[in-house]
Amino acid sequence: MGDEVQQLTRAFSGLGGLGVDEATMVSVLAQWRKQPEKRSGFRKGFPGFFTSHGEIDRSREEFMLHLAAEFARFKNLMVLWAMHPWERDARLAHHVLHQAHPAAIVVEVACTRSADELLGARRAYQALFHHSLEEDVAYRAREKPYCNLLVGLVSAYRYEGPRVNEDVARAEAKALGAAVKSAGGVSGKLVADDEVVRILTTRSKAHLVETFKYYKEIHGRRIEEDLARKDDTLLETVLCLAAPAKYFSQVMEAGLRDGADSHDKDALTRVAVTRSDADMDDIRAAYQEQFGAKLEDVVAAKAHGHYRDALLSLVGAGGN
């Protein structure tokens, strides 16, 4: 019985899990049929979930909520996967705009999709919610210093060709450096700078890659290094526009850490689904370069059950 209890406890994944081991749970259901004493032994041996109250082993409320979320993880992945990408992006943006910190997912949708994909998401948003995405972003973020940046990002329809004016890219690299220096340590100043907002919300991604290359040549540091000490929203914007695989690999790594919170775990699902048909090969390469491990190996070690298998199908080298 001890081994069965241990297997069932592991199947419930503990407080740090990613999904649950459904196969083991179903197996134990069959083995313990009409054996309530085994279930009692399981409850007494799982103090993280159950506490003794006289004759009753009562489940802890916070663990029940956690477990419900972990059971739902595979379902949520499949629902996201089944949606049309435009509807999916519209619903992701709408959901986060009604929370306290809407910037990250809005930046992700606005900056890592093609011009036509973003336009499609905006059309879907209007059809679903009877407001424009730009309108809701402007209203929900109206008291945030990054409001103008977000509105500009979601409103953009960027040129996607290869042509870049090198002189303009160099001049704008100097302008960005001057803005970074001028902002100093003042919170919110840099993200509200009109010139910074103009460059990041209107220029093509190819142009911005060249601009950031010149930034390093002129200022001796990558722009990400300077922004990491000043503004998270601008840092996410720059990474999403110019190095999306690096950005997405960092998001997935955060979701796979021991003790990752619910937002980071949800982000892992989101990235696996939204990027599986786009740039997952690049994300795997960026993950290995930054963290020294294969993404699919970490997923296999950290996740459980059907959720793990679904993740591996989306991110694994053989899943494309």
Are 250 and 239 members of one domain?
A: no
Read off the CATH number of the domain in which 265 is found: 1.10.220.10
Spatial CB neighbours of 38, under 8 Å, sequence gap ≥ 6: 1, 4, 5, 32
Can you give the pTM of this predicted structure? 0.90
* Cross-strand partners of 104: none
Residue 31 sits in which domain range?
2-12+19-51
Q: Domain for residue 206, yes or no? A: yes
Q: In this structure, what token pair is assigned to residue 24? A: 């083991």
Helix, strand, coil percent content, the chain, rounded in steps of 5: 70, 0, 30
Q: Are residues 238 and 183 in the same domain?
A: yes
- CA torsion, ordered 307, 309, 313, 314, to nearest 10 deg: 20
Residues 104, 222, single domain; the answer is yes
Q: Give the three-class secondary structure for 57.
A: strand
Q: Where are the beta strands (DSSP E) in the chain?
A: 50-53, 56-59
Mean pLDDT of 1-5: 61
- Overall domain count for the chain: 3
Count of residues in the chain: 320
Distance, in Å, from the CA atom of 234 to the CA atom of 209, rounded to the nearest integer, reads 15
* Whether 174 and 184 share a structural domain: yes
CA atoms within 13 A on the CB side of 60: 14
Could you tell me the maximum CA-CA distance found in the chain, to the nearest angstrom?
A: 78
pLDDT tens digits, 25-57: 788 777 766 667 666 666 666 656 666 655 555
Q: Domain for residue 104, yes or no?
A: yes
pLDDT tens per residue across span 239-286: 999 999 999 999 999 999 988 988 999 999 999 999 999 999 999 999
Residue in 196, 274, 261, 182 with CA at minimum distance from that of residue 233: 196
d(CA 130, CA 97): 15
On whether residue 75 sits in a domain, the answer given is no
User: Are 270 and 174 in the same domain?
Assistant: no
For residue 318, name the pLDDT band (cuts at 50, 70, 90): low
Are 139 and 222 part of one and the same domain? yes
Q: Is the pLDDT of residue 1 over 50?
A: no
